[in-house]
């Protein structure tokens, strides 16, 4: 069973509907049979990432002449939503790669960098976004990774933590400070390739949810990068980070929306199959009301996510709307996933059924790419500042 009744503001064009349906079919036919195994083994199934590239999901906004699909940011949001219905862990890979790495390259990369990297990012090379450190989470610009200028480029030293896509990525956008005394104005972004001397992907975190998604530490020990690895201008890394994370919140909102939709569909289906007192539990008003509340909150989250994405594509202000969408979608995903477990009853508490995984996967939505408190801080500044 699926929730298909959308209001006019969430209606999709014919092309968008076809794209969403194609990605959803791929997720249901190709990813769904692998979800449990990938969650248990904490890694993507062999060949799955290559299939994502083959379907064009890793270069959605890359221009066609550079090997991409030539789509919109809204298309990327639809893909993330459709994938997250089946496995939020796979959606994370596609989300980070498209909304953070590729968009940063398109906006801040030189013509030479774009020509060199966008075709690879669209067709075969996954990307990762390396900002967080042990001592810099919400306080993102308290990072300690250092960059020193050398005759041929830069030397990087430090450790990054909680880096999504770390195992799969071939290109890392690494943020380091050239001048600690300058505070955030010393932060600079660099392009680091896997395999560069002095660069190592470290331990993978053993997470509660989205376990197939790799989240690792990065170790930089006298990692020498050429001058051409500089992304943007020296000292402008903070601007790159802020702008990309503002957009990335919409992608996370889409992921959480998709998660809620997947959990709701399983709960609704189970409610029609599970019988108690001689009839399906879906015939009991309490269960009907629970499903109705869930569907209502999902529609509200969908409105917020889609609105933020449309504003971004229209080049209109969207920071407030992005923060609201991420905040609310994370709340809805957690509530819907929790209610899904309860509708499954005892079966919702065991791994033989899908409910508990959605519940585990939902929790991180209030934490990564800006905690809920950070979203509230952003929203407060926006609304009190006159927007």
pLDDT by 10s per residue, the chain, length 387: 444 455 555 789 999 999 999 999 999 999 999 999 999 999 999 999 999 999 999 999 999 999 999 999 999 999 999 999 999 999 999 999 999 999 999 999 999 999 999 999 999 999 999 999 988 766 767 889 999 999 999 999 999 999 999 999 999 999 999 999 898 899 999 999 999 999 999 999 999 999 999 999 999 999 999 999 999 999 999 999 999 999 999 999 999 999 999 999 999 999 999 999 999 999 999 999 999 999 999 999 999 999 999 999 999 999 999 999 999 999 999 999 999 999 999 999 999 999 999 999 999 999 998 899 999 999 999 999 865
* Multiple choice CATH, 8-126, 1.10.540.10, 3.50.50.100, 1.10.600.10, 1.20.210.10: 1.10.540.10
| Alpha helices, H only, the chain | 14-26, 35-41, 48-54, 73-84, 88-95, 103-108, 111-123, 237-273, 285-313, 319-344, 355-362, 372-384
Residue 171 CB: number of other CB atoms within 10 A? 20
**Residue 115: alpha-carbon gap to chain centroid:** 25
Q: Do domains 8-126 and 128-235 have the same CATH topology?
A: no
Structure confidence at residue 136 (pLDDT): 78
**C-alpha–C-alpha distance, residues 42 and 236, integer Å:** 36
pTM for the structure as a whole? 0.94
Report the relative pairing of strands 215-226 and 199-204 from DSSP bridges: antiparallel
Indicate the class that CATH gives domain 128-235.
mainly beta
Q: What does the DSSP 8-state code read for residue 3?
A: -
Spell out the residues 6+ positions from residue 360 whose beta carbon is closer than 8 angstroms to its own: 208, 209, 211
**C-alpha–C-alpha distance, residues 387 and 379, integer Å:** 9
Q: How many residues does the chain have?
A: 387
DSSP string, 294-306: HHHHHHHHHHHHH
Query: Catalytic site residue 369?
Result: yes
At 82, list the tokens.
Answer: 């459709």
Q: At what angle do helices 285-313 and 319-344 cross, to 10 degrees?
A: 160
CA distances from 191 to 114, 178, 268, 302 (A): 12, 15, 46, 34
At 344, list the tokens.
Answer: 């499954």
* Contact status, residue 215 vs residue 163, Cβ threshold 8 Å: yes
Domain coordinates of the chain in residue numbers? 8-126, 128-235, 239-384
Smallest Cα–Cα separation from 128: which of 102, 109, 151, 101? Answer: 101
Strand partners, 231: 189
Residue of 168, 247, 297, 369 marked catalytic:
369
Structure confidence at residue 386 (pLDDT): 64
Fold exhibited by the domain 239-384: Butyryl-CoA Dehydrogenase, subunit A; domain 3 (1.20.140)
CA distances from 278 to 88, 283, 290, 343 (A): 36, 11, 20, 17
| Sign, Cα dihedral of 135, 138, 144, 145 | positive
Report the relative pairing of strands 275-276 and 187-193 from DSSP bridges: unpaired
């Amino acid at each position: 069973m699926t929730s298909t009744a959308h209001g006019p503001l969430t209606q999709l064009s014919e092309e968008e509907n076809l794209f969403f349906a194609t990605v959803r079919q791929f997720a249901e036919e190709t990813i769904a049979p692998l979800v449990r195994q990938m969650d248990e083994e904490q890694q993507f199934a062999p060949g799955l990432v290559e299939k994502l590239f083959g379907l064009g999901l890793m270069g959605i906004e890359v221009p066609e002449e550079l090997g991409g699909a030539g789509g919109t940011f809204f298309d990327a949001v639809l893909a993330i939503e459709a994938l997250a219905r089946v496995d939020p862990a796979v959606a994370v890979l596609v989300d980070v790669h498209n909304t953070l790495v590729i968009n940063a390259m398109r906006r801040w990369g030189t013509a030479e960098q774009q020509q060199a990297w966008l075709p690879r990012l669209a067709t075969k090379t996954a990307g990762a976004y390396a900002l967080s450190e042990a001592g810099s989470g919400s306080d993102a610009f308290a990072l300690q990774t250092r960059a020193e200028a050398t005759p041929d480029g830069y030397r990087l030293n430090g450790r990054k933590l909680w880096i999504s896509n770390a195992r799969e990525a071939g290109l890392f956008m690494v943020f380091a400070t050239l001048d600690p005394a300058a505070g955030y104005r010393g932060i600079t972004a660099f392009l680091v390739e896997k395999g560069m001397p002095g660069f190592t992907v470290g331990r993978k975190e053993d997470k509660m949810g989205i376990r197939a998604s790799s989240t690792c530490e990065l170790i930089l020990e006298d990692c020498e990068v050429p001058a051409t690895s500089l992304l943007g201008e020296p000292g402008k890394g903070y601007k790159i980070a802020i702008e990309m994370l503002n957009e990335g919140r919409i992608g996370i909102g889409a992921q959480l929306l998709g998660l809620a939709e997947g959990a709701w569909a399983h709960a609704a289906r189970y409610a029609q199959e599970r019988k108690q007192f001689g009839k399906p539990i879906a015939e009991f008003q309490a269960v009907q009301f629970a499903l109705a509340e869930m569907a209502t909150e999902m529609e509200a989250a969908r409105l917020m996510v889609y609105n933020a994405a449309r504003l971004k594509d229209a080049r209109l202000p969207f920071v407030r709307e992005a923060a609201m969408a991420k905040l609310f979608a994370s709340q809805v995903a957690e509530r819907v996933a929790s209610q899904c477990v309860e509708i499954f009853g005892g079966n919702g508490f065991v791994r033989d059924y899908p409910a508990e995984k959605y519940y585990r996967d939902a929790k991180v939505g209030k934490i990564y790419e800006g905690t809920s408190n950070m979203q509230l801080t952003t929203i407060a500044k926006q609304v009190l500042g006159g927007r």
